[in-house]
Amino acid sequence: MLKASNIQKSYGNLSILKGVDFTIGKGEIVSIVGASGAGKSTLLHIIGTLDRADKGELYIDDIAIHKLSAKELSAFRNKYIGFVFQFHHLLPEFTALENVCIPAYIAGTKTDVAEKKAMELLDLLGVSERANHKPSQLSGGEQQRVSVARALINNPKIILADEPSGNLDSENAAALHKLFFDLRKSMGHTFVIVTHNEDLANISDRTIHMKDGNIY
């Protein structure tokens, strides 16, 4: 599903990723762990095509990501990748349903089709009764479920998450982790998750350890 070789990235003179190699199979749930500053977020951004490596090759589903133009990259990203962040980044002035629909609208989906799909996802994630609430009216766990629904609306193959349970209490964190495994089982998603949560790292199929821009 995903193959990276010799990925290098520097900011100015500072080498952040020093030639990273890994492969991730379809339907795998992989955690990336390591100390703050190790380069985890930078690597996740490169896998997510939000950022480009200076050097190295990245293939996703045999597509040579490192060869795509900026325009091709953004089309690829919309279709293939869903993002979940530590802070949900829901837009406060829109309802849960509207927030979930936004990536679909950006991809050109019609309103009624997007709303139907968004309601199905909110239902799947157990927050359909919150569809018309604004983010401020939702609990932290509910907000994160809405943000997962938003990540899923364009049917991505890969979900990338940066500290998805970092802002949740242990009960909501466990529920979110279970959700990831349920989604993998029902829809076959591949998950790459940067996390400090030991429970999540322990239940993952595999853990990638990062230190000072290298993988162990």
- Least separation in angstroms between residue 211's CB and ligand ADP is 9
- Least separation in angstroms between residue 99's CB and ligand ADP is 20
Pick from 149, 150, 147, 153: nearest CA to 166: 147
If you search the block for the tokens 């009960």, which residue do you land on? Answer: 171
- Closer by beta carbon to ligand ADP, 31 or else 95: 31
- Closer by beta carbon to ligand ADP, 11 or else 112: 11
The whole-angstrom separation of Cα 55 and Cα 156 is 26
- Least separation in angstroms between residue 188's CB and ligand ADP is 27
Within 8 A by CB and 6+ apart from 186, the residues are none
- Least separation in angstroms between residue 94's CB and ligand ADP is 23
- Least separation in angstroms between residue 214's CB and ligand ADP is 12
Report helix angle 96-106 to 140-152, nearest 10. Answer: 20
If you search the block for the tokens 């955690």, which residue do you land on? Answer: 31
- Closer by beta carbon to ligand ADP, 85 or else 181: 85
Sites of contact with ligand ADP (CB under 6 A): 11, 16, 34, 36-42, 86, 162-163
Amino acid identity of residue 75, one-letter, is A
- Closer by beta carbon to ligand ADP, 82 or else 122: 82
Phi-psi region of 75 (alpha: psi -120 to 50; beta: other; left: phi over 0): alpha
- Closer by beta carbon to ligand ADP, 35 or else 113: 35
Cα torsion angle, 68, 70, 75, 76, sign: positive
If you search the block for the tokens 């977020």, which residue do you land on? Answer: 41
